[in-house]
Amino acid sequence: MKYLRSVLLLVVLAVVLSIGIACAEEKALYIPMISKGFQHQFWQAVKKGAEQAAKDYGVTITFEGPESEAMVDKQIDMLQAALAKKPDALCLAALDSKAVVPYVEKAKEMGIPVIGFDSGVESDIPVTTVATDNIKAAGYAADKMAELIGGEGEVALVVHDQTSRTGIDRRDGFVNRIKEKYPNIKIVDIQYGGGDHLKSTDLAKAIIQAHPNLKGIFGANEGSAIGVINAVRELNKIGQIVVIGYDSGKQQMDAIREGLMAGAITQNPVGMGYMAVEAAIKAVKGEELPKYIDSGFYWYDKSNIDSPEIKQCLYE
């Protein structure tokens, strides 16, 4: 009887142990996502796509970003906190492509694969970066600006920053296309508003007041574009200055429908969030990934804003 009890005890222990191992094996992957911000509808759309991927693949994600896209230090604090939890992978949209490099290096030392999304890092460590081809997209915005102002005149830019990869690429994509193709168009000013629509409004008003012959302004992200719209409205320049934006969101969409904005570039934020989580899962599994995953872009204006193809990429 004593022997039988011992055997039964061993069997029970074996079953409990096997269940524990199975549970450990089935534990969901944990993937924190550190974005450049949280306040713009763009990031909410990226979050939506990421959450859908997490649901489809059975993984756990967190999604956070600083209140302002000028808060580099706060994003670094979030990055440090995420690494301290020893996640299976990390998705990062860097506000400052250089400042985050030491933390990306630390992630590599810890064996944590890093996936860039929206904005890259000045390092080869990220396994891949899921992003819009911002140089190509901003170049297309420049072509549209040239078309709408008749190929000549003064234009300006309000950009979110000059430290993130998106800020640099959108500025350079627009500026270089103008310089290369349109000798009769002069870029008279480039200002940086941190993606804040109030600051961008003040900057755009100052540009307009300093350049009475200005024909157009390019707002390089959602907050920048809203600031330009506000400035044009407040200074009664509607119809006199061509406004082209980047991203979407309700205010930009309303501005296009009302004729305040000629059109804008929209990214594919839901797809971007989904692809970033998908890439992180593949990286954890050791699957090979390309160094760059293009999440795509579209031009939208009054003529196609309600088309099914465009509608799915707009984020109200």
**pLDDT tens-digit profile of 50-90?**
999 999 999 999 999 999 888 999 999 999 999 999 999 99
Supply the pLDDT for residue 316: 65
Q: Do 161 and 211 sit in the same domain of this protein?
A: yes
Q: Do 33 and 111 sit in the same domain of this protein?
A: yes
Q: Do 96 and 185 sit in the same domain of this protein?
A: no
Q: Do 43 and 159 sit in the same domain of this protein?
A: no
Identify the residue with better confidence: 165 or 138.
138
Supply the pLDDT for residue 10: 45
Quick one: pLDDT band at residue 30, thresholds 50, 70, 90? very high
Determine the average pLDDT of the residues in 162-172. 94
Residues of the domain holding 123: 29-132+269-296
Supply the pLDDT for residue 265: 97
* Torsional sign, CA 49, 54, 55, 56: positive
Tell me if 237 sits within 8 A of 255, measured CB to CB.
Answer: no
In a domain, 8, yes or no: no
Q: Do 164 and 152 sit in the same domain of this protein?
A: yes
Q: Do 108 and 201 sit in the same domain of this protein?
A: no
Q: What is the 3-state secondary structure (H, E, C) of the chain?
A: CHHHHHHHHHHHHHHHHHHHHHHHHHCCCEEEEECCCCCCHHHHHHHHHHHHHHHHHCCEEEEECCCCCCCHHHHHHHHHHHHHCCCCCEEECCCCCCCCHHHHHHHHHCCCCEEEECECCCCCCCCEEEECCHHHHHHHHHHHHHHHCCCCEEEEEEECCCCCHHHHHHHHHHHHHHHHHCCCEEEEEEEECCCCHHHHHHHHHHHHHHCCCEEEEEECCHHHHHHHHHHHHHCCCCCCCEEEEECCCHHHHHHHHHCCCCEEEEECHHHHHHHHHHHHHHHHCCCCCCCEEECCEEEEECCCCCCHHHHCCCCC
Quick one: pLDDT band at residue 26, thresholds 50, 70, 90? low
Determine the average pLDDT of the residues in 22-31. 68
Q: Is the pLDDT of residue 264 over 80?
A: yes
Q: Is the pLDDT of residue 221 over 60?
A: yes
Q: Do 205 and 231 sit in the same domain of this protein?
A: yes
Tell me if 32 sits within 8 A of 92, measured CB to CB.
Answer: no
Q: Do 54 and 202 sit in the same domain of this protein?
A: no
Q: Do 50 and 112 sit in the same domain of this protein?
A: yes
Quick one: pLDDT band at residue 11, thresholds 50, 70, 90? very low
Supply the pLDDT for residue 18: 44
78's CB contacts (< 8 A; 6+ apart) are 34, 64, 65, 66
In a domain, 206, yes or no: yes
In a domain, 36, yes or no: yes
Supply the pLDDT for residue 198: 96
In a domain, 307, yes or no: no
In a domain, 74, yes or no: yes
Domain containing residue 276: CATH number: 3.40.50.2300
Q: Is the pLDDT of residue 1 over 80?
A: no
As a whole number of angstroms, the distance between CA 243 and CA 251 comes to 13
pLDDT tens across 103-146, in order?
999 999 999 999 999 988 999 999 999 999 999 999 999 999 99
247's CB contacts (< 8 A; 6+ apart) are 40, 42, 221, 222, 225, 264, 265, 266, 267
The pTM of this model reads 0.75
Identify the residue with better confidence: 316 or 311.
311
Supply the pLDDT for residue 188: 98
Tell me if 45 sits within 8 A of 117, measured CB to CB.
Answer: no
Q: What is the mean pLDDT of the chain?
A: 91
Total of domains in the chain: 2
Q: Do 119 and 183 sit in the same domain of this protein?
A: no
In a domain, 79, yes or no: yes
Quick one: pLDDT band at residue 315, thresholds 50, 70, 90? confident
Q: Do 125 and 204 sit in the same domain of this protein?
A: no
Supply the pLDDT for residue 312: 78
Q: Do 64 and 98 sit in the same domain of this protein?
A: yes
In a domain, 55, yes or no: yes
Q: Beta strand 90-92 with 114-117: parallel, antiparallel or unpaired? A: parallel
Supply the pLDDT for residue 255: 96
User: Within 10 Å of residue 65's Cβ, how many Cβ atoms?
Assistant: 23
In a domain, 99, yes or no: yes
